[in-house]
Structure 1
């Protein structure tokens, strides 16, 4: 295993981002739920604000863990045409799941953020973080959402990612920072000793802490 848990991974990733410490232009944006844990650890080290973006994975029929795409609460969608064609997935299914997951993204964002207003990302250096990247669809949707906020620079930082996701991310951001890209990548959780599901309340508590 590469990391003990998400806290460990976040602390190690923060070391790679230390040049951004105490920079008032930097904002960390985490993907719930695991990415918020990573983001919290980084923000503690860098002394920077933390916010969230909530893309939702769209899973394949009968295999929800296989991402065929992702959607944000605003409707920015990313789809993997190769997987869609390989599994002969119908447009009706895609449309139905897109509507469902967009609604879920809105619901979760409201729960997580509460009355907290989103941070102003215009002309900021935004570091988008997650606990890992497999297919890249969810991160690509997050990037599309952040780009609409007109930041000065977008950096994606993750502890671990699949090698074939590297070019997908690098071509749409200013910088990609990662600790490991193993040649054999099955699932993000395989690279952690402890990879328990993060509960909504933990995310809510972290966001509240950064609102005070």
Structure 2
């Protein structure tokens, strides 16, 4: 049932679809998106970095996302879902602040003191390993849009059809290799979908900068 052997293969296939882009800034959503983005950046001669995002969870059930936040952006909340849960945006203010702190910590882990690459006037590609609800991707795209890139592309190997359609309003282009009608979870479309650690992310980023051998 899987479509891709692993994230690296998915990235190679995605790079082929993106070949018309010229030396873009490739921003991966960690952790899984970094493994997809590395071959994309290499094939396109682009700059690889991460764009850190955090899910904003429903307080009684944190695994249920009611929004997300990305570095450089503001919280993006699912207002219809909040209303169905009987909540106001102020109801999750404490969660938002906690996630801001965790986001800042993860930025330090992945990038240290390095700033994001300059995005203004550049072609920018936001990459993840798949789209389920799309909450973190939406937050990421809005954060990047604030930096005024010349062209903004969202690129993923696989995604839920309704999510892909909804995110087309957030980017100049959305490139998705597969939108299976029976999509349930991103991992079901990969033969190998191991969870990545922070150390794995740092290794992939170092390879992207040419600091270690491929």
CA shift, 1:185, in A, is 2.2
Secondary structure of the corresponding residue to residue 117 of structure 2: coil
| Greater alpha carbon shift after TM alignment, 69-78 vs 35-44 | 69-78
Listed as ranges, the gaps of 5+ residues in structure 2 are none
Distance 2:90 2:119 in 1: 35
Structure 1 residue ranges (4+ consecutive) displaced by more than 6 angstroms after TM superposition:
none
1:57 to 55, 58, 62: 55
2:73 touches 2:142 (CA, 8 Å); kept in 1? no
Distance 1:185 1:59 in 2: 22
For normalisation by structure 2, the TM-score amounts to 0.90
Partner residue of 1:6? 7
1:113 to 111, 114, 123: 111
Number of equivalenced pairs: 209
CA shift, 1:7, in A, is 0.9
1:73 touches 1:103 (CA, 8 Å); kept in 2? no
CA shift, 1:92, in A, is 5.6
CA shift, 1:192, in A, is 1.2
Secondary structure of the corresponding residue to residue 156 of structure 1: strand
Listed as ranges, the gaps of 5+ residues in structure 1 are none
Partner residue of 1:48? 46
Secondary structure of the corresponding residue to residue 19 of structure 1: coil
Secondary structure of the corresponding residue to residue 112 of structure 1: helix
CA shift, 1:32, in A, is 0.5
CA shift, 1:97, in A, is 1.2
For normalisation by structure 1, the TM-score amounts to 0.91
Partner residue of 1:138? 136
Partner residue of 1:68? 66
What RMSD, in angstroms, separates the aligned Cα atoms of the two structures? Answer: 1.8
For residues 102-131 of structure 1, the C-alpha deviation after alignment (integer angstroms, 9 at most, x for no partner) is: 111111011101233321111001011000
Distance 2:98 2:73 in 1: 11
